[in-house]
Amino acid sequence: MESQLDWHSARALLEWQVELGVTEAISDTPVNRYDAAAEAVAAAAVAATTVAVAGPQPLVQIDPVAVAEKAAAAAQDLDGLRHALETYGHCDLQKGARNLVFCDGTPGARVMVIGEAPGREEDMQGKPFVGKAGQLLDRMLAAIGLGRGREGAEAVYITNVLPWRPPQNRDPNPAEIAMMLPFLKRHVALAKPDVLVLVGNISCQAVLGKRGITRLRGQWTEAFGLPAMPMVHPAYLLRTPIAKREAWADLLSIQAKLKG
């Protein structure tokens, strides 16, 4: 019988299932779940016997933040830091993400933008700020003569607090932020910008320990020993166009800071 689904509908359904986390639709060979359950019980019995013979083993407590601090400190350059993140292994967000979203733009740029976390488009492409909010960010930066594809004084460098997309674009939890903060600190140290732009509430929470972006925005502060400007997220500007006037004032302040 011919399927009633056209190509576009079938693709949309497949993408929806992938978004939910489905990794396998139909196996190449049938699986007898009764046999699989019996094998699992047998394996558990063998494991229990092994533990009984060997005796109880001491539990080893692992501090994921301490592991992150050690891994980040060992990174001597940006490639090394990327590798440290790829091999970190203590953040569950890695398991559900398609790609590590590390950075975009020009390393060594005077301006470093720190966003919150990747969204769907960023997760698919492996680059920060590539969706609609990212396109708006590019236009905002271009308005003051900056861009991720430019060089020299016009260059910009972009990263996020989290390099992996949280499920359903939820806010990162405090434990996830704490694990990623050592990597972010090292990222700033290796990128060596003159000015930081903290985009959104999560960025301010991670870097400044504060939330309330509409109250924080527009006021210069210090982060990681550098001047930092909190700004509302471009996604907020897409939902609240009236706030673009304040965002423009923040951009002009950044431009003035760069000019000395």
pLDDT in tens, 50-81: 555 555 666 778 899 999 999 999 999 999 99
User: Do residues 200 and 87 make contact, with C-beta atoms less than 8 angstroms apart?
Assistant: no
Going by their DSSP bridges, the two strands 156-160 and 104-105 should be labelled as antiparallel
CA distance 229 to 113: 10
Q: How sure is the predictor about 41, in pLDDT bands with cuts at 50, 70 and 90?
A: low
Q: Where are the domains of the chain?
A: 64-258
Q: What is the pLDDT of residue 1?
A: 45
- What lies within 8 Å, CB to CB, of 100 at 6+ separation is 82, 85, 86, 94, 126, 163, 164
Band (25; pLDDT cuts 50, 70, 90): low
CATH of domain 64-258: 3.40.470.10
- Secondary structure element (H or E) that encloses residue 128, with its range: none
Please state the three-class secondary structure of 97-152 as a single string. Answer: CCCCCCCEECCCCCEEEEECCCCHHHHHHCCCCCCHHHHHHHHHHHCCCCECCCCH
* 221-223 β-sheet, strand order: 104-105, 156-160, 111-115, 195-199, 226-231, 221-223
pLDDT > 70? residue 211 = yes
CA angle 201, 208, 226 (to 5 degrees): 115
Reduced DSSP (H G I as helix, E B as strand, rest coil) percent helix, strand, coil of the chain, to 5: 55, 10, 35
Q: What is the pLDDT of residue 23?
A: 62
Tokens 């870097």 locate to 207
Q: Nearest 5 degrees, angle CA 15-CA 18-CA 22?
A: 145
For the residues 120-126, what does the mean pLDDT come to?
Answer: 96
pTM: 0.78
Q: Is the dihedral of CA 68, 69, 70, 74 positive or negative?
A: positive
Mean pLDDT over residues 182-196, rounded? 98
What number is the average pLDDT over the span 229-253? 97
- Give the pLDDT confidence score for residue 138 in this predicted structure: 97
Is a pLDDT exceeding 80 seen at residue 167?
A: yes
What is d(CA 34, CA 92) in angstroms, rounded to the nearest whole number? 30
Q: How would residue 11 be classed by pLDDT, with cut points 50, 70 and 90?
A: confident
Residue for token pair 């004084």: 153
Q: pLDDT at residue 5 above 90?
A: no
Rounded Cα distance, 3 and 1, in Å: 6
Which residue, among 158, 169, 159, has the nearest Cα to 93 in the 3D structure?
Answer: 169
Position 260 scores a pLDDT of 83
**pLDDT value for 20:** 67
Q: How many residues does the chain have?
A: 260
* pLDDT greater at residue 31 or residue 239: 239
Selected residue with higher pLDDT from 119 and 13: 119
Percent of the chain surpassing pLDDT 70: 82
Mean pLDDT of the chain: 89
pLDDT at 14 over 80: no
